[in-house]
Structure 1
Amino acid sequence: MALAPEQTQISVTVAESNSEAGCLLTSMGARVLTAPVTVRVEAVTKEGQKMTLEPNMTNTLVLPESAADVQTKHLAGVMIDPVTKRIYPVPTTFAVENGKHTAILPTHGNMIYMVIENEKEFSDVPEGHYAKESIDTLASKLIVTGDSSDSFAPNRSISRAEFAALLTRALGIVPQADSGASFSDVATDYVHAEAIQAAAKAGLINGYNDGTFKPNAQVSREEMAQMMFNAMKFSGRVQTDGISAAEKTQLFARFADNNQISDGQVTQPPLSSKRE
């Protein structure tokens, strides 16, 4: 439905949602710090025609005074799909404004938004483990998940599909089955199918020249670097498509195995443009 801009008004509605969303989070052990709210943006014509919009907006939630005693690594912004009841992390900025602790969250259409206190640890990541703080922080923010509720398997390798799913969670990208991106070896019922499609649509990943993605293959270090670079571009952290040949030579000179780095990695966005 096309709407004439000169005859259209934009309506932004921020309202408290029902308590069911909070129950979903408390059931997983999190403490809900803010009331669940929905943000709905609509274009409305003089005739009453409506179209739901999904603009890039932010929503600021004021945290209770008790949040001042919570470490930021245990605070997380989340959004819940009111239809599927799925919970997704949201990239959230925590700040203090006029003496009040606030959380600034980007909005993603008709979702339910909240801030939670969540402290997650795994029994196989003990005190003294070099990556414990990073793992615990990312798990508390719902970005990484374990092999089970109590086990993270820190020494296990990660697959291409798992890393793509991790990036979508870190960036707050909501997986969608109808994203339009597909690979011949990723079935619609594959556990990470929606995340892979969403990552491809966002430009985080590309497949191989034969139309496959090889989701269960172990992701290499250079592939991870390329995917993270694409994620930085998606989030607006970098504005370039790569580095010059001279810069590449200078940067890679420090690595004794620099001759093994694929030319398609780091210097160009496609993840696997040089591969079959």
Structure 2
Amino acid sequence: MTLALNKLNIQRASSLLHVPTEQLDLQINIDVLSNDELSDLKQSLPAGLKMLVQPLRFNVQWVAGDQTLKLDQEELKNVTRVIHLGTTDLDPQTATVLGFNEETRTYSYVPAYFVQNKGQWEVRIRDMQYSTYVIASNEQIDTSDNDSSINSIQYMQNKQLLALNQFKTDEPITRGEVAQLLVSALGANGIASKNTSFRDVTEEQSYAATAAHLGFVKGYADGTFRADRQVTREELASMVYRAIQYAGGVSVANSSAVISYLDHDSISPWATAHVQALTSLNLLQDTFGTTFEPKKAVTTDEALMILVRTLRSIEYVN
């Protein structure tokens, strides 16, 4: 487990536990599960998945005497969990990591990147909510054409990021759907943000407040978010760029890259640098043809293909 110590909020812990900072300890636990817990996990594992290695439970908390305090989600953003898998037979395209919520007894997608070094596999997990992780394989994933729109949808479904039949191809995607996807894809579901200036966001649309809090999305001048409004191509480019920025991946992007689209002059000034950056990262290649048509609505399959490319570029999936 790797922690960015300068990102830990020791003053928050001191205030909430009512002790001086010098009396605080940071406790890190990495535990295997009991046989009963392991049996429970196997029984509730989603259909089609096979457990690859022993699940592990990670826990980081502040300790003062008999008092404990969990790290908040912003602190957990800067915690990387690495699990060494050894020489196990693993395909990073079919493998996935799921977080197990012990309260709801359910599994959810967790951003994870598999790396092989000298024949040894390891997985790097980025998550801000769960502590118990199950590494599983789904042999139903078709890896023959990972960059097609259809396979992008299937890939995300089998990684447990999309619910089955959640989206249909060739249909416009909405601002709310993109915001929800970005929050889930970056493992930020655990960040609750009730404070929002959007006057049209309901409690069921809390992902919009989270996305705004994290800087993925912006609202309109009248204070609305308009979750049901279709996303334009230039809006999607800006949302994706901000998500990459949040994940710390914009340092390799070139915001002055040449845009080869024939209609590049029609891109709004506020989106030009974002389109340039995504172009430099090869995230838009062959998606929109020779013209960008910045005001045109984005289809679901176009958006998901770009999202899968984005997640790979920042090493949140393989």
Give the TM-score normalised by the residue count of structure 2: 0.67
TM norm structure 1: 0.76
CA 1:163–1:119: 2 relative to 1, 3 Å: farther
Identify which range, 221-230 or 162-171, moves more after superposition.
162-171
Identity %: 25
**Alignment partner, residue 77 of structure 1:** 97
Give distance in 2, aligned partners of 1:110 and 1:5. Answer: 26
**Preserved CA contact (<8 Å) 2:44 2:106:** no
**Higher relative contact order at CA 8 Å, sep ≥6: structure 1 or structure 2?**
2
Distance of 1:264 and 1:240 partners within structure 2: 20
Unaligned regions of 5+ residues in structure 2, if any?
Answer: 1-15, 275-318
How far the C-alpha of 1:63 sits from its partner, in A, is: 3.3
Query: Map of 1:1-276 to 2, 5 A cutoff?
Result: 1=16, 2-17=18-33, 18-19=37-38, 20-25=40-45, 27-45=46-64, 47-54=65-72, 55=75, 56-63=78-85, 67-68=88-89, 70-97=90-117, 99-120=119-140, 130-147=148-165, 152-181=167-196, 183-189=198-204, 193-239=205-251, 243=255, 247=256, 251-252=258-259, 254-267=260-273
How much has 1:129 moved relative to structure 2? 9.9
Deviation at 1:156, TM superposition (A): 1.6
Q: Compared with structure 1, are the counterparts of its residues 136 and 109 closer, same or farther at alpha carbon in structure 2 (3 Å cutoff)?
A: closer
Distance change >3 Å, CA 107–CA 38, structure 1 → 2: farther
Contact 1:91 1:105 in 2 (8 A): yes
Moved more, 7-16 or 136-145: 136-145
Shift of 1:146: 4.0
**In 2, distance between residues paired with 1:242 and 1:211?**
32
* Offset, 1:259: 3.4
Unaligned 5+ runs, structure 1: 269-276
In 1: Cα distance, 2:217 partner to 2:47 partner: 31
Shift of 1:195: 2.3
What's the CA shift for 1:34? 2.9
Per-residue CA deviations over 1:83-133 (Å, capped at 9, x if unaligned) read 2344332221212356432212134355321211124569xxxx9994333
* SS, match of residue 136 in structure 1: helix
| CA offset digits 1:208-237 (Å, max 9, x no partner) | 121111111111111110011001101101
Task: Write 1 or 2 for the structure with the bigger share of helix.
Answer: 2
Q: 1:106 to 1:133 in 2, by over 3 A?
A: same
**Deviation by residue 1:31-65 (Cα, 9 ceiling, x = unmatched):** 122333222112222x4332222442222223375
> How big is the alpha-carbon RMSD for the aligned residues of Structure 1 and Structure 2?
3.2
